[in-house]
Amino acid sequence: MALNLFMPSTTGMEAQSHALEQVATNIANMNTVGYKSNETMFYSLLGSNPVVKSTNTGLTSSRVDVQGVGYYDRTNVLDSGVVVSTGNNFDVAISGNDNAFFTLKDDYNNIYYSRAGDFGVQTENGTTYLVNGNGLKVQGFLSVGGKDVYDVATGDLIIQYPEKIPPIPTSELTITANVPATGVDSSSYSMTVYAPTHDGETMNMILKKVEGKANTWELSFSVNGGTATSEATEVVFSDKGDLETPKVLDVNINWDDGDTNSVHLDISNMTQLAGGQGTTYIKQDGAPSGQFQKCFIDKDGVVKAYYSNGDTYNCGKLALTSFTAPENLTPINGTLFEANAETGDTAYVSDMSILVPQALEQSAVDVEEEFSNMIIVQRAYSLNTQSFTAANEMLQTLVDLKT
């Protein structure tokens, strides 16, 4: 019975010691990316004696041998940290949704979830993967052919792209130019066009004055490395110099190597005015071949390679996972979690607008709150030690009386 005097204070010291350990861990991780703080919860330890019930008075009492305090830890999974820009191409943060987690896998195919988006690359056996700081492979949907089309099933995000991509074929072209109203019988206008196997060739639009027809010019095209034709054979201007017909036309190019282009040409802003021949504006949607420049994660969670011609190549897309009850995730450490029977169904998040590229979600630790908790825990521990000391003195007094 005498030993029971020490049970409450002993369990109290143990519980408060553990609580202080959690506070210290939280403070130590105040700068850890994606860290979720832990807090210690307490509950009464109940003894084995049954509840006392009086049949005469109707009074009841709880168990009389309460033996101190127990504890367990709770991770604040749904607390969000501040999102801070980093400028790192593979960093990405989740903002505005506490039920979305990056999906990770280890070498033993165990799946984990995290809010820490400090990713990088790691090469194994010639294959480069997107990984987190612990080397776990980031999961996602691989791109099909580098386009905005993705596999249905998730897998390791592989960083694979061509070092050089072919030219972007020209399909739309606009030209603004003037045809001299007098003094010339023909005018030629040069434009650059691209094809999958042609890294920029000169196409000439040639206008020759038609005898006997006012303001009318014969239209033809030539191109280096092929032939160019159009159904439109004449260009007609008004007496004021504005273009009347055709406004737009299609130019079909047959390259000598067998390749073809169909270019939709807009000449609606061409004029026939006094003065010299001049081209003031040319715009097209083609581009030369591109050399690899950098790889990054964009605002839609797509891992992209960027090229010198402005084109991109998609490697894959991040897989964000949500849960029916995310607060029940099992913490592995401060940034990694596992699903369990209590987390319910899983689903992939479709709204990728919650992602912030080149940024990280900081630790969710509230330092001021942790220091306040530390003072409370320290005081509770001190009071438990005093209780233990008092019990020890009482027991010593009893021993002295018996001797």
Write out 220-284 in H/E/C secondary structure.
EEEECCEEEEECCCEEEECCCCEEEECCEEEEEEEECCCCEEEEEEECCCCEEECCCCEEEEEEE
Return d(Cα 168, Cα 64) in angstroms, integer.
Answer: 83
Give pLDDT, residue 148: 94
Give, for 401, the enclosing helix (H) or strand (E).
Answer: helix 367-402
State the pLDDT at residue 397. 78
| Domain range summary for the chain, segments of one domain joined by + | 2-72+364-402, 83-163+296-361, 172-284
Angstrom distance (rounded) from CA 95 to CA 99: 10
Which residues, given as ranges, of the chain have pLDDT below 50?
1
Name every residue whose Cβ is closer than 8 Å to that of residue 134 and which is 6 or more positions away in sequence.
336
Here the tokens at position 173 are: 């072209």
Give the CA dihedral 24, 29, 31, 37, nearest 10 degrees.
-100
Per-residue tokens: 212: 């006997």
In the chain, % helix, strand, coil (3-state, to 5) comes to 15, 45, 40
Q: What is the pLDDT of residue 61?
A: 54
Helices (H) and strands (E) in the chain, counts: 2, 33
Can you give the pLDDT at residue 388?
Answer: 85
Six token digits for residue 375: 């003072």
Structure tokens at 278: 């001049």
Give the closest residue to 174 by CA, choosing from 23, 286, 335, 70.
286
**pTM, rounded to two decimals:** 0.76
* SS3 assignment, position 85: strand
pLDDT value at position 64? 52
Q: What is the pLDDT of residue 52?
A: 57
Say what the pLDDT of residue 229 is: 96
Q: What is the CA angle 55-57-62, rounded to 5? A: 75
Q: What is the CATH number of domain 172-284?
A: 2.60.98.20
